[in-house]
Amino acid sequence: MTAMDVNASGTTGSVSSADGTTIGYRRLGSGGPPVVLVHGGMETAGSHLQLAEELAGEFTVYLPDRRGRGASGPHGAGYRLRKEVEDLDALLAATGAEAVFGLSSGAIICLQAALELPAVRKVAIYEPPLSINGLLATDWLPRFDREIEAGDHAEALVIATKETRQFGHVLPGPLLKLVSRLLLGDMLRLVRTFHHDMELVIETKDQWRRYADVRADVLLMGGGRSPAYLKTALDELERVLPEARRVEFAKLNHGGSGNRNRGGNPPLVAGELRGFFASPPRAV
């Protein structure tokens, strides 16, 4: 692990994953137990900076850029969920962290890590987009890829938000396309990477029962205003993980854990994470 810089957003550094890919991160806080926050699709380490700031008083918080984004290396050949778990494993080994949080596709990564890595003792997941009995369709991905290849990233963003039933599904396509150009520049810059997030959804399709073998403590989190398929995924995980605790934030949506400019409420989510991460892990 290397430390590279200190700035207003904490210290930056990097680790090397199993295949040699550099995984960059930000670190906030000092002295408290280490925790890792894993972002979702069309995001970077900075997307949960405000949540990290809320936790930094009690914990040392690590915010990795997932591969293909920010300070990290490319997705590389043969990209699969295994690569993401190896990236997280490298950071856990370097920091000694036993507690992880993940949003959306980041939640899928954290769940898989909890299944495979004994180092993970506590895992908090916010709305993993597990496709349960086909509730989350993925047949639109070739259409998305064609728009990316054609260079129309705004249209690709319209497709992605509508098909995943995020905020864009309530707006007409032309209006969302205009909004995306005016207000969602960060998402437009990252929209190309969303193909890989959907690959994780496809890889884990109808595989949720395997997470019954997770032995870490689990906190299931979600928003009351999120799409129904995300609530179904949490319902099914709650069934296969009967000792998991579940929290629903009635007024939040899929962006509830993120920065305020994406509809998040970092203090509210941090309040739940703080108690969960601070409590001793149960014996297994």
Residue 61 and residue 80 in one domain: yes
Q: Which residue has the higher pLDDT, 135 or 177?
A: 135
pLDDT of residue 283: 64
Q: Is the pLDDT of residue 168 over 50?
A: no
Residue 35 and residue 171 in one domain: no
Q: pLDDT confidence of 185, banded at 50, 70, 90?
A: low
Number of domains composing the chain: 2
| CATH number of residue 38's parent domain | 3.40.50.1820
pLDDT of residue 5: 46
pLDDT of residue 31: 84
User: What is the three-state SS of the chain?
Assistant: CEEEEEECCEEEEEEECCCCCEEEEEEECCCCCEEEEECCCCCCHHHHHHHHHHHCCCCEEEEECCCCCCCCCCCCCCCCHHHHHHHHHHHHHHHCCCEEEEECHHHHHHHHHHHHCCCCCEEEEECCCCCCCCCCCCCCHHHHHHHHHHCCHHHHHHHHHHHCCCHHHHCCHHHHHHHHHHHCHHHHHHHHHHHHHHHHHHHCCCCHHHHHHCCCEEEEEEECCCCHHHHHHHHHHHHHCCCCEEEEECCCCCCCCCCHHHCCCHHHHHHHHHHHHHCCCCCC
pLDDT in tens, 133-165: 989 999 999 999 999 999 998 889 889 988 998
Least confident of 6-10, 12-16, 95-99: 6-10
Residue 89 and residue 8 in one domain: yes
Please check whether residue 136 lies inside any domain of the structure.
no
Average of pLDDT values for 77-86? 96
Residue 66 and residue 39 in one domain: yes
Q: Is the pLDDT of residue 182 over 80?
A: no
Q: pLDDT confidence of 57, banded at 50, 70, 90?
A: very high
Residue 186 and residue 269 in one domain: no
Share of the chain above pLDDT 90, in %: 81
Residue 160 and residue 109 in one domain: no
Residue 66 and residue 187 in one domain: no
Q: Is the pLDDT of residue 184 over 60?
A: no
pLDDT in tens, 216-266: 999 999 999 999 999 999 999 999 999 999 999 999 999 999 999 888 999
Residue 18 and residue 63 in one domain: yes
Average of pLDDT values for 69-86? 96
Closest residue by Cα to residue 196 from 75, 47, 110, 63: 75
Average pLDDT, the chain: 91
Please check whether residue 284 lies inside any domain of the structure.
no
Residue 113 and residue 27 in one domain: yes
pLDDT of residue 173: 59
Q: pLDDT confidence of 167, banded at 50, 70, 90?
A: low
Residue 125 and residue 234 in one domain: yes
pLDDT of residue 284: 62
Q: Is the pLDDT of residue 99 over 50?
A: yes
Residue 192 and residue 208 in one domain: no
Indicate the residue among 180, 196, 212 that finishes a domain.
Answer: 196
Q: Is the pLDDT of residue 130 over 50?
A: yes
Q: pLDDT confidence of 183, banded at 50, 70, 90?
A: very low
Which residues form the domain of 164?
A: 141-196
